[in-house]
């Protein structure tokens, strides 16, 4: 806002808000309507920062009007219309700015002198219009603490609150100055203000240069701005060396995690391969146990006996069963799990051939419960035969009379339960008789199957288990074996 007449610029003022309207009322007061800045009043008609009254806060004043009754009407954006009676008797007094011995008498003498010598007025006015005001920084506060004035400051990271004071000066013209300032790195352009101080808070680490200039009421700016440099050092965790060390440490940690993870993966793969090899070995051993040389030799001897006794039909029937059993065992050994129907076919062939070997020493039965679908439900291959072999060799074979083996497959809760019962001599008596015949064949099928179940549980995280118990009391107690296989209801 510039106040001038035909011969001079009387004053300049930065309002810092957009001016909507300027009105001079009948009393000579100047009113300024501001957008989001309220209403300014200059009672004496002199436009300066020290001679103003502010009304209506940050209200947006859009227009002003004085009626014939000397009422001032003030229109706002969104806050209605205000009226102000200008006839109120108000006394305004503007403070005089003087320096040294420039008293009222001296100013009166100067005024008389200027009136008597117009050329002197012209010379002084030219001097004021052409001389640029000086500017200097008057105070610097860092974190609300005053500090000595210097050209440059090296500050810690936490010293990031600055308050800078500045003052303009012009010999012979003690008027109020307008200012412009900027802090390179924060302010993109000059900031204009009538205030003689500025604050900056929460400055990030970096290098800043503060510059400030003053303007006289004639509109002349300082030739050189006053300046000060501030270097705010970063926190230790913002420094290059710390970030490089952090990145390096992160790389080392990630590398170690990857190495440990890779090592664990390789370890698990090696363990898995080892287990797979062990399973393959056990399955091969189970296959060999099912087709052990004694069983094969005795079966073939029995067939040979039928041939030599001209019982060709019986020999061909059992030879056919033996061939079928060999094929079934070989086929089942290639699969980890088989249907219950396939397992029943295999054990029927096996039990028929064992009956041939032992000349009708035992009989058997196989039952399947209602909860089982033998064509669909599956169990691990080659699982039941070793326990049947154990019942025949150690239970039934040691009896004086014929025996009986009962196989029942049923669904109990969430398990398929395979129950094998025999009416043999029992485990204790069989163990004693085995000690006396240590040179004879020792069945390894049960031990192999036990190891198989243990490894299958580890690999599949399942809970296959086997229970063995004696049946009844007396000389022929018999044995019951229960195999629990988790039921898979797909």
Residue 454 forms part of a structural domain: yes
pLDDT band at residue 472 under the 50/70/90 scheme: confident
pLDDT for position 104: 43
Name the domain count of the chain.
3
Same domain, 197 and 68: no
CA distance 316 to 101: 148
Residue 112 forms part of a structural domain: no
Residue 220 forms part of a structural domain: yes
Which of 100 and 180 is assigned the larger pLDDT? 180
Residues near 485 by Cβ (< 8 Å), separated by ≥ 6?
A: 379, 380, 383, 415, 416, 417, 418, 464
Residue 183 forms part of a structural domain: yes
Give me the domain span that covers residue 475: 271-486
Kindly state the average pLDDT of the residues 213-231: 88
Domain harbouring 391, CATH code: 3.30.565.10
Same domain, 366 and 422: yes
Residue 230 forms part of a structural domain: yes
Same domain, 233 and 289: no
Same domain, 58 and 154: no
pLDDT band at residue 229 under the 50/70/90 scheme: very high
pLDDT for position 281: 67
Same domain, 43 and 178: no
pLDDT band at residue 480 under the 50/70/90 scheme: very high
Same domain, 219 and 280: no
Residues near 38 by Cβ (< 8 Å), separated by ≥ 6?
A: 54, 55, 56, 57, 58, 59, 61
- Report the run of H or E that residue 347 belongs to, with start and end: helix 340-357
Sign of the C-alpha dihedral computed for residues 301, 302, 308 and 312 taken in this order: negative
Residue 99 forms part of a structural domain: no
Rg of the chain on CA atoms, in Å: 56
Same domain, 79 and 195: no
pLDDT band at residue 1 under the 50/70/90 scheme: confident
Tell me the sheet residues that pair with 337: 380
Which of 364 and 36 is assigned the larger pLDDT? 364
Domain harbouring 202, CATH code: 2.60.40.10
Residue 92 forms part of a structural domain: no
pTM over 0.75, yes/no? no
Same domain, 303 and 395: yes
pLDDT for position 282: 65
Same domain, 139 and 32: no
- Report the run of H or E that residue 452 belongs to, with start and end: helix 445-460
How does pLDDT run across 35-52, given as a tens digit for each residue? 888 888 888 877 776 677
Q: Cα–Cα distances in Å, from 383 out to 109, 312, 328, 332?
A: 130, 34, 14, 11
Same domain, 344 and 295: yes
Same domain, 295 and 420: yes
Residue 231 forms part of a structural domain: yes
Same domain, 312 and 451: yes
Under 8 Å between Cβ of 182 and 166: no
How does pLDDT run across 413-441, given as a tens digit for each residue? 888 999 999 988 888 887 777 776 655 55
How does pLDDT run across 301-358, given as a tens digit for each residue? 777 777 777 777 777 877 888 888 888 877 877 777 889 999 999 899 889 888 887 8
How far separated are the first and last CA of the chain, in Å rounded? 87
Q: Is the pLDDT of residue 95 over 80?
A: no
438 by Cβ neighbours in 10 Å (0-12 / 13-18 / 19+) ranks as exposed
């Amino acid at each position: 806002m510039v106040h001038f007449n035909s011969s001079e610029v009387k004053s300049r003022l930065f309002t810092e808000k957009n001016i909507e309207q300027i009105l001079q009322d009948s009393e000579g007061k100047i009113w300024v309507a501001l957008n989001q800045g309220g209403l300014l009043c200059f009672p004496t008609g002199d436009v300066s920062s020290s001679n103003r009254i502010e009304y209506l806060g940050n209200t947006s004043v859009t227009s002003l009007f004085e009626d014939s009754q000397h009422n001032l009407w003030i229109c706002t954006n969104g806050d209605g219309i205000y009226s102000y009676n200008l006839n109120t008797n108000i006394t305004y007094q503007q403070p005089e700015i003087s320096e040294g011995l420039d008293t009222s008498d001296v100013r009166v003498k100067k005024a008389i002198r200027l009136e008597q010598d117009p050329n002197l007025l012209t010379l002084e006015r030219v001097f004021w219009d052409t001389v640029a005001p000086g500017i200097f920084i008057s105070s610097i506060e860092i974190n609300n603490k005053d500090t000595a004035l210097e050209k440059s400051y090296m500050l810690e990271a936490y010293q990031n609150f600055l308050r800078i004071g500045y003052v303009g000066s012009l010999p012979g013209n003690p008027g109020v100055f307008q200012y412009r300032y900027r802090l390179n790195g924060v302010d993109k352009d000059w900031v204009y203000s009538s205030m003689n101080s500025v604050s900056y808070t929460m400055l990030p680490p970096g290098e800043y240069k503060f510059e400030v200039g003053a303007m006289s009421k004639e509109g002349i700016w300082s030739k050189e701005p006053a300046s000060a440099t501030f270097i705010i050092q970063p926190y230790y965790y913002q420094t290059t060396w710390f970030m490089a060390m952090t990145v390096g440490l992160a790389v080392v940690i990630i590398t170690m995690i990857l190495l440990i993870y890779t090592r664990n993966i390789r370890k698990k793969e090696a363990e898995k391969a080892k287990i797979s090899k062990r399973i393959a070995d056990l399955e091969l051993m189970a296959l060999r146990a099912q087709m052990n040389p004694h069983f094969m030799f005795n079966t073939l001897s029995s067939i040979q006996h039928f041939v030599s006794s001209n019982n060709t039909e019986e020999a061909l029937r059992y030879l056919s069963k033996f061939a079928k059993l060999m094929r079934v065992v070989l086929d089942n050994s290639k699969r980890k799990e088989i249907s219950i129907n396939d397992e029943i076919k295999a054990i029927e062939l096996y039990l028929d051939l064992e009956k041939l070997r032992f000349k009708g020493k035992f009989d058997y039965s196989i039952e399947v419960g209602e909860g089982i679908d033998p064509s669909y439900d599956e169990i691990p291959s080659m699982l039941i035969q070793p326990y049947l072999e154990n019942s025949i060799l150690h239970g039934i074979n040691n009896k004086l009379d014929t025996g009986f083996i009962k196989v029942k497959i049923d669904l109990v809760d969430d398990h398929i339960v395979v129950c094998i019962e025999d009416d043999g001599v029992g485990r204790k008596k069989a163990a004693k008789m085995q000690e006396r015949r240590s040179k004879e064949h020792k069945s390894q099928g049960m031990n192999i199957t036990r190891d198989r179940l243990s490894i299958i549980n580890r690999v599949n995280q399942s809970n296959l288990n086997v229970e063995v118990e004696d049946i009844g009391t007396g000389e022929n107690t018999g044995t019951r074996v229960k195999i629990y296989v988790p039921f898979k209801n797909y």
